[in-house]
Amino acid sequence: MSQSPSTTDQPQTTSGDAANGQTASLPPHDVTDLGLAAEGVRRIEWAEREMPVLRLIRERFEQERPLDGLRIGACLHVTTETANLMRTLAAGGARVALCASNPLSTQDVVAAALVAEYGISTFARRGADRETYYAHLNSVADTKPQITMDDGCDLVSLLHTSRRTELAGVLAGTEETTTGVIRLRAMAADGALEYPVVAVNEARTKHLFDNRYGTGQSTVDGVLRATNILLAGRRVVVAGYGWVGKGIASRFKGMGSQVAIVEVDPIPALEALMDGLLVKSAAEAAEWGDLFISATGNLNVFRGEHFRTMRDGAILANSGHFDAEIDLRRLLELCGGKVREVRRDVQEYDLGDRRLYVLGEGRLVNLAAAEGHPAAVMDMSFANQALAAEYVVRNHEKLEARVHTVPADIDREVARLKLEALGVHIDQMTPEQERYVSSWQEGT
């Protein structure tokens, strides 16, 4: 899909140096159209209603200013929920610069609102080409961040490669997603990671809810918005039965689809079977399925040998972090370049005897064709982000340059606040129970 920006606001290199009087007081930015800001504000406020935990944290941050004067560089999906995280960090006293972690997930109305209404430096345009994407990452690096906040490790990678001069000033970072954590662990194992990073993805209040229920629902949403197909009775193949795959499979099953799982690890494969799903090899599934969704964090999961046997009209989508899970280069070769967009976010590859359809250019379908996770789920992920930022600011001197987990008390506090906001009560152990579970002497 090639969506070109409708206007061309030039990046403002320093706050207040704009030649254009109207933007003179705005922070540095590069967004599609500042005129979209009012709609962005309405949508950010709508999301905020579903984010009570983040709102409570923002209110505390306003009082305590735990991030006072700190420069935070963030590379996240530019959505309404991210906007509420940026507002929270700014309320804590941080100077924040944001760029997109994926060119197709950017909501232009949100980018405009962040700049024009909330004074947050934002570099993001939906549909940005590769060059612009990296220019935006570099614009964030230009602000010399002391804390990095990543979704997929692109900012950390940039700072460890072409922008190493900025590395010395970085105190610590946080990482949002599974793929980013895998990349960071690989860097740490090579001795290449030069500052501590907290893996927000590892918090239970993140992956159990965001990866599973958030991606599950929003993947269904992305597929429906792009195609408007009936899901009942449809044969859906989900590659990967990790947290994301489990969520996607359960949601499609709930909509009446027949679901088959493709795995490389026998344990989740067995789990899928016992969850009542079909388990097939990718080759078997290719012949069987109508809709294929990858969620593995791996490469070329659906590839040439599978495209050859897929039925006419088969649809392919990806919910894993990178657009590498469907081998689109091979698909393009197989169809001799005969590709056309038949609906917004639906590309038809004409193989002669059959046509295959790819959603959102193989990028995360829930963000490319829908709006990403519902705000109520991002509330917990971003509460972890905000509290992890506060934690690394307080503790960076004690933390080694490796990947750290979110402290258990932060994780539990996020869940406690969420339950409180939902008006749900749980029990506490009685003193007798406390003694029982912590004693080795008590038994039958």
Contact 25, 16 (CB under 8 A): yes
Residue 178 touching ligand NAD (CB under 6 A): yes
Q: Is 227 or 296 the residue whose CB approaches ligand NAD more closely? A: 296
Residue 263 touching ligand NAD (CB under 6 A): yes
Residue 139 touching ligand NAD (CB under 6 A): no
Q: Is 217 or 257 the residue whose CB approaches ligand NAD more closely? A: 217
Residue 174 touching ligand NAD (CB under 6 A): no
In the range 4-23, which residues lie near ligand NAD by CB under 6 A?
A: none
Strands 278-279 and 235-239 turn out to be unpaired
Residue 107 touching ligand NAD (CB under 6 A): no
Helix (H, G, I), strand (E, B) or coil at 259: strand
Task: Please identify, among the stretches 42-50, 95-103, 227-235, 264-272, the one whose residues bind ligand NAD according to the rule CB under 6 A.
Answer: 264-272
Q: How far apart are CB 269 and ligand NAD at their closest, in Å?
A: 8
Burial per residue of 298-315, b for 16 or more beta-carbon CB atoms within 10 angstroms, e otherwise:
beebbbeebbeebeeebb
Q: How far apart are CB 219 and ligand NAD at their closest, in Å?
A: 7
Residue 177 touching ligand NAD (CB under 6 A): yes
Indicate which single residue of 12, 82, 102, 179 sits in contact with ligand NAD (rule: CB under 6 A): 179
Burial per residue of 411-433, b for 16 or more beta-carbon CB atoms within 10 angstroms, e otherwise:
bebbbebbeebeeeeeeeeeeee
Contact 90, 98 (CB under 8 A): no
How far apart are alpha carbons 24 and 392 in whole angstroms?
Answer: 34
Q: How far apart are CB 297 and ligand NAD at their closest, in Å?
A: 3
Given phi > 0 = left and psi -120 to 50 = alpha, else beta, which region is 69? left
Q: Is 55 or 306 the residue whose CB approaches ligand NAD more closely? A: 306
How far apart are alpha carbons 41 and 55 in whole angstroms?
Answer: 16
Please name the residues in contact with 265: beta carbons below 8 A apart, sequence gap of 6 or more: none
Q: Is 44 or 378 the residue whose CB approaches ligand NAD more closely? A: 378
Contact 27, 15 (CB under 8 A): yes
Strands 258-262 and 355-359 turn out to be unpaired
Please name the residues in contact with 103: beta carbons below 8 A apart, sequence gap of 6 or more: 125, 126, 127, 128, 129, 132, 133
Indicate which single residue of 297, 324, 377, 379 sits in contact with ligand NAD (rule: CB under 6 A): 297
Encoded one letter per residue, x for contact with ligand NAD by CB under 6 A and - for no contact, window 237-256 reads --xxxxxxx-----------
Strand partners, 120: none
Q: How far apart are CB 366 and ligand NAD at their closest, in Å?
A: 5
Residue 73 touching ligand NAD (CB under 6 A): no
Residue 268 touching ligand NAD (CB under 6 A): yes
In the range 203-242, which residues lie near ligand NAD by CB under 6 A?
A: 207, 211, 215, 239-242
In the range 315-344, which residues lie near ligand NAD by CB under 6 A?
A: 319-321
Q: Is 23 or 215 the residue whose CB approaches ligand NAD more closely? A: 215
Q: How many helices (H) and strands (E) does the chain have?
A: 18, 16
Please name the residues in contact with 300: beta carbons below 8 A apart, sequence gap of 6 or more: 324, 325, 326, 327, 330
Contact 127, 3 (CB under 8 A): yes
Size of interface with ligand NAD, in residues (CB under 6 A): 28
Task: Please identify, among the stretches 259-267, 330-338, 395-403, 411-419, the one whose residues bind ligand NAD according to the rule CB under 6 A.
Answer: 259-267
Indicate which single residue of 41, 53, 262, 380 sits in contact with ligand NAD (rule: CB under 6 A): 262
Residues that bind ligand NAD in the complex, under the rule CB under 6 A? 177-179, 207, 211, 215, 239-245, 262-265, 268, 295-298, 301, 319-321, 364, 366
